[in-house]
Amino acid sequence: MLDAYAETGEAMRASSETIGGQDASHDHVAEFVNVTKRFGSIVAADRLNLGIRRGEFLSFLGPSGCGKTTALRMLAGFEQPSEGTIRINRSDMSAMPSYQRPVNMVFQHYALFPHMTVAQNVGYGLRQRRPRMAKTEIGQRVTKALNTVRLGDFSERRTWELSGGQQQRVALARAIINEPAILLLDEPMAALDAKLRAEMQRELLDLQRSLGITFVLVTHDQEEALSMSDRICIMGGGQIAQVGSPDELYDRPASRYVADFVGKANILLGEVVARQGGQAKVVLGCGSEVLVSEASVDNRHNVEVIIRPEALGMSAAPQNGTAALRARVTHRTFLGDHTEYRLQVEKTGALQVNLTRQAERALGGRGVGDDVYVLWEDGAGLILGAED
């Protein structure tokens, strides 16, 4: 069952329950309480329970069709839940239209007006307010917003005269000028090239920290989510698979689905032959014994073990006191700061090992077809929890 953190009881009571596996004593700016969204016979979101903390950077992460965009659209008010409650600032917003919610959204394609100047685009929302705001106040707030995103000298330009990164900053300025409680980001960097995307990620994170506004990002890019988020909500099949910090999700995934989706992972089958102090001795298919950590102690003997490629080492010969798996190199990919090795271990399967330049030099260099030993330090792997 993917929704490992979903609640199955009554709707949340203010201070005593948990939402999405998180203590409800946190100051939540928004909450999903048993939220389900159906489109005909299709369940796009299934019993979502999640508290979004005030001032945090939260990312919804998952593949296409997992329900992350549906969750964001329900938070924005573009879709209403079929069941359950969405709260913002403790008020029920489930049936509230989007324009009455204290949220703003930056869309993937920015939705800027080409016939307007940058300043006119940024001030558009303020000009729609009733009663009307004074032009001088609008001008002051537009200037402040443009200076915040470092576009103070671009106010009179047309949006089509700007680069992709500058257009994104215009969209951000237009969103933050209304001082929303939550800023929603629907894959806003998908159209940027890799170098500009990395630059904009840093700028967006700096902006969020300086403003103190809650940012909620939808993305399918795991590196983007890992590098920017305080917490990540992993989605799959319309359900919440796991919620946690990037470190928690990477180091202690709750399921094979999360382990496979966050970062790169080797997942191996093995048999537990002994347990002690939160660790287990596991015999892998090749016959090698390894000592690994356990996500949760249970009575299973046949288990799945995850180990990250960078947690493994390689040598030309076995090392005393270290578990070693004999393997053959099938692929070698040089990536600048590290090299990826794809290896085949008899009766165990394929393994990926990532070596730094220094570690590869110490190895003496190995190529396709060479035999090597994969080194496995005690406790480096993790037994994945059982899935329903």
Residue by residue, DSSP assigns 28-41 as: EEEEEEEEEEEETT
Q: Give φ, ψ of 109 to 5 degrees.
A: -105, 15
What tens digit of pLDDT does each residue of 264-288 get?
Answer: 999 999 999 998 888 899 999 999 9
Tokens 């969103």, located at residue = 175
Separation of CA 304 from chain center = 23
Average pLDDT score, the chain? 88
Q: Output b/e per residue, 167-204; b: 16+ Cβ within 10 A.
A: bbbbbbbbbbbbebebbbbbbbbeebeeeebeebbebb
The span from the CA of 354 to the CA of 8, in Å, is: 41
State which of 259, 280, 304 marks the end of a domain: 259
Q: Give φ, ψ of 127 to 5 degrees.
A: -70, -15
**50 assigned to some structural domain:** yes
**299 assigned to some structural domain:** yes
Q: Helix, strand or coil for residue 347?
A: coil
Are 276 and 229 found together in one domain?
Answer: no
State which of 238, 259, 280 marks the end of a domain: 259
Are the CB atoms for 246 and 258 separated by under 8 Å?
no
The span from the CA of 104 to the CA of 45, in Å, is: 22
pLDDT value of residue 375? 94
The span from the CA of 192 to the CA of 164, in Å, is: 7
Q: How many residues can be counted in the chain?
A: 388
What CATH number is associated with residue 372? 2.40.50.100
What tens digit of pLDDT does each residue of 56-69 get?
Answer: 999 999 999 999 99
Tell me the whole-structure pTM to 2 decimals. 0.86
pLDDT value of residue 2? 41
Could you tell me whether strands 302-307 and 382-383 are parallel, antiparallel, or unpaired per DSSP bridges?
antiparallel
**135 assigned to some structural domain:** no
3-state helix, strand, coil in the chain (%, to 5): 25, 35, 40
**308 assigned to some structural domain:** yes
The radius of gyration computed from the CA coordinates of the chain, to the nearest angstrom, equals 25
pLDDT value of residue 18? 41
Q: Is the peptide bond before 131 cis (omega within 30 degrees of 0)?
A: yes
pLDDT value of residue 20? 44
DSSP sequence for 222-235: HHHHHHH-SEEEEE
Say yes or no to pLDDT of 12 above 80.
no
Are 193 and 304 found together in one domain?
Answer: no
Are 241 and 278 found together in one domain?
Answer: no
Q: Return the percentage of the chain with pLDDT > 90, whole number.
A: 67
Q: Which of 123-127, 192-196, 352-356 has the least mean pLDDT? A: 192-196
**252 assigned to some structural domain:** yes
The span from the CA of 87 to the CA of 101, in Å, is: 10
Are the CB atoms for 88 and 29 separated by under 8 Å?
yes
pLDDT value of residue 388? 58
Are 209 and 285 found together in one domain?
Answer: no
The span from the CA of 122 to the CA of 139, in Å, is: 10
State which of 259, 291, 325 marks the end of a domain: 259
Could you tell me whether strands 312-315 and 371-376 are parallel, antiparallel, or unpaired per DSSP bridges?
antiparallel
**131 assigned to some structural domain:** no
Are 235 and 282 found together in one domain?
Answer: no
Are the CB atoms for 273 and 283 separated by under 8 Å?
yes
Are 325 and 352 found together in one domain?
Answer: yes
Q: What's the one-letter identity of residue 13?
A: R
pLDDT value of residue 6? 35
Are 275 and 334 found together in one domain?
Answer: yes
| Mean pLDDT across 70-80 | 97
Say yes or no to pLDDT of 31 above 70.
yes
| Mean pLDDT across 19-45 | 83
The span from the CA of 90 to the CA of 19, in Å, is: 14
Number of domains making up the chain: 2
The span from the CA of 373 to the CA of 42, in Å, is: 49
| H-helix or E-strand spanning residue 42 | strand 42-53
Q: Helix, strand or coil for residue 105?
A: strand
| Mean pLDDT across 125-153 | 91
**359 assigned to some structural domain:** yes
Are 55 and 31 found together in one domain?
Answer: yes
Nearest to 241, CA basis, from 220, 28, 69, 249: 249
Confidence of residue 323 (pLDDT cuts 50, 70, 90): confident
Say yes or no to pLDDT of 17 above 60.
no
| Mean pLDDT across 105-123 | 90
Are 250 and 347 found together in one domain?
Answer: no
Nearest to 73, CA basis, from 60, 63, 92: 60
**374 assigned to some structural domain:** yes
Are 288 and 348 found together in one domain?
Answer: yes
Are 299 and 233 found together in one domain?
Answer: no
What CATH number is associated with residue 242? 3.40.50.300
| Mean pLDDT across 153-180 | 90
Are 254 and 288 found together in one domain?
Answer: no
Its domain, for residue 359, covers 264-383
pLDDT value of residue 164? 83
| Mean pLDDT across 215-241 | 95
